[in-house]
A and B are shown apart, each in its own frame.
Chain A
Amino acid sequence: MEPIASHENWRNCFSEVAPGLLLFARQWVQSAADAEDIVQDAFIKFWRRNHDIHNRGLLYAAVRSLSLDFIRRDARRARREATAMAEAEHAVEPHFELQDDTQSALAAAVESLPRDQREVLVLKIWNDLTFSEIAGALGISQNTAASRYRYALNNLKKTFQPQ
């Protein structure tokens, strides 16, 4: 018989972190389906090894590592996707559930950020990671993580004009 407690456990846990994880994966992989595959692999590895879910940095590090592997493994496909994304102006699979034009403008501003700033912002805002956890997940120092976050907010403030 299925152990219901553990079943509920992973579902609850995954429900909580999945949207942020997917958003993080999509910093490298444009396709939502590929991002889901990566998140699935990372989460299963994480869960099977009985990692403490509070040590979230490892989970994000796994997503990042699998995403980079995916890009390396399928470079041709990634180039094709990048071209398609450039042509489609990010309109095919939105990263956010947008409710109004202000949010659309803000999402566009976020997506126009440099990748190193954007990944810190994604981890901080939509995944609630501390700078220490971000540093662990990205393999950078805590100060670097904090300064990238500050640069990201600065850039957003310059480009994003609330309507």
Chain B
Amino acid sequence: MNDFRELENELRKLRPARPSPALFERIGEALKESRAATAADSSLERQGFGKARHNWWSLGFGLAAAAVLILFAVVTIERRQEHRQTTAQNSPASETQRAPAGKGSSMSRSRFVPAGGTNVVFNARDEGLHFAGGSERPVRQVRYNTQQTWRWRNPETGASLRVSYPSEEIVLIPVSGQ
């Protein structure tokens, strides 16, 4: 490097251009603003920490309440299932025997008997001949779209229950050759 000492000295004599005075002013302003912003940030952070702590408490209480509700729901469901099992075991007896008045009357009150059903075909489509399931004999496939309705009635209370749903039925009719 000694070979370059003279050159390095010459280079050091070169003075880089100075920054404009406005740059000092701008930096001063920016630092002042950033100090204010930092102070505001740290105050917000402190508030945020308090708020976060408050939120953690809320979350804890919320979770505890949810856990209690879930536990309660599970216990209720289990009790209902036990009750249903008891009802299912008792039902043959209740069909053959007259329900006693008083305590058991609620069971007979909730008994529904089938009252009828309808099956309304609202569309039938002939889908032609097919060889169903690798069979050698052709079958004619007819598709029926129906609306099935079933009704139950409680003879004691007169209440009725109706269930209606659409259904699709495919009928395969064997075709015999003459």
A residues with a Cβ closer than 8 A to B are 2, 7, 10-11, 14, 18-20, 22-23, 32, 36, 39-40, 43-44, 47-48, 93-98, 102-103, 106-107, 110, 121, 125-126, 150, 153, 156-157, 160, 162
Contacts and interface: CB of A to CB of B under 8 A. Distances in A.
Contact of B7 (A39, A96, A98, A153): A153
B32 to A, nearest CB: 8
B11 A125 contact: yes
B31 A22 contact: no
Query: 9 smallest A-B Cβ distances: which pairs?
Result: A23-B16, A19-B16, A153-B4, A97-B15, A18-B19, A96-B14, A125-B11, A36-B23, A44-B30
Contacts of A36: 19-20, 23
Given A7-B28, A11-B24, A44-B27, A19 B15 contact: yes
B10 interface: yes
A40 B8 contact: no
Contacts of B16: 19-20, 22-23, 95-97, 126
B11 to A, nearest CB: 5
Interface of B: 1, 3-4, 7-8, 10-20, 23-24, 26-28, 30-32, 34, 38
Contacts of A43: 27
Which applies to chain B's interface (DSSP): helix, strand, loop or mixed?
A: helix
A39 B23 contact: yes
A61 B7 CA distance: 27
B30 A22 contact: no
Given A10-B31, A32-B17, A47-B31, A40 B12 contact: no
Contacts of A48: 31, 34, 38
B17 A96 contact: yes
Given A157-B7, A162-B10, A95 B17 contact: yes
B80 to A, nearest CB: 63
Contacts of A39: 19, 23
Nearest to B20: A36
Contacts of B3: 157
Contacts of A156: 7, 11
A18 B23 contact: yes
Given A22-B16, A126-B16, A40 B10 contact: no
A53 B10 CA distance: 28
B116 to A, nearest CB: 80
A95 B7 CA distance: 18
Contacts of B32: 2
12 contacts: A10-B31, A14-B27, A23-B16, A36-B19, A43-B27, A44-B30, A44-B31, A96-B15, A97-B18, A98-B14, A107-B14, A156-B7
